[in-house]
Amino acid sequence: MSTSNTPLVGVIMGSKSDWETMSHGVAILEQFGIPHEVEVVSAHRTPDKLFSYAEQAESRGIEVIIAGAGGAAHLPGMVAAKTSLPVLGIPVQSKALNGMDSLLSIVQMPGGIPVATLAIGKAGSTNAGLLAASILGNKYPEFKTALNEFRAHQTDTVMSNPDPREA
């Protein structure tokens, strides 16, 4: 059981402009009561901060890192290069290339340094929150319970109103 408010999930992003996307995963963490922290850490604009964040995360009690970035999205991969914590990468939907640049930058890691890459945008962010709950649920039963309740409610919502013409 998680007994303190020490963050277990570190949610980082390359820019404040990524927050709208990243907020969806954070909403899941809040809904499930998973202690977390949120911070801008840029691979390009604050590279030294990226290194210190990744190097110190585990000793501060972080167990999962969710990292989102857009465009030349080097943040998740560089964080993964500096920590063996699980890193969940969110490709933010860029304006110029609609997020394909972000996706390919994050997903095409060389063998040996994995980033668990989610879908572009809101769906990926939401699923990163759920995946963090799944990972932490192996150690903290209350998060597994919250995740299973979420999934059961989602199934009930579909099953109880399967007519697509009804709201």
For residues 148 and 32, give the distance between their C-alpha atoms in angstroms, rounded to a whole number.
11
For residues 100 and 33, give the distance between their C-alpha atoms in angstroms, rounded to a whole number.
32
Least Å from the CB of residue 24 to ligand RP5: 15
9 bridge partner residues: 36, 64
Cβ-based nearer residue to ligand RP5, 120 or 147: 120
HSE-CB at 72 with a 13 A cutoff on CA atoms is 4
* Residue 105 marked ligand-binding: no
Contact between 65 and ligand RP5 by CB under 6 A: the answer reads no
Local structure of residue 3 (DSSP, 8 states): -
Handedness of CA 114, 58, 101, 92 (dihedral sign): positive
Q: What b/e string do you get for 79-88 counting C-beta neighbours within 10 Å, with b at 16 or more?
A: bbbbbebbbb
Out of 17, 31, 52, 154, name the contact with ligand RP5 by CB under 6 A: 17
Contact between 71 and ligand RP5 by CB under 6 A: the answer reads yes
Cβ-based nearer residue to ligand RP5, 22 or 147: 22
Out of 92, 109, 132, 136, name the contact with ligand RP5 by CB under 6 A: 92
Out of 7, 14, 76, 91, name the contact with ligand RP5 by CB under 6 A: 14
- How many residues bind ligand RP5, per CB under 6 A? 11
Stretch of residues binding ligand RP5 (CB under 6 A), selected from 1-9, 14-22, 137-145, 147-155 = 14-22
Residue ranges of the binding site for substrate = 15, 18, 45
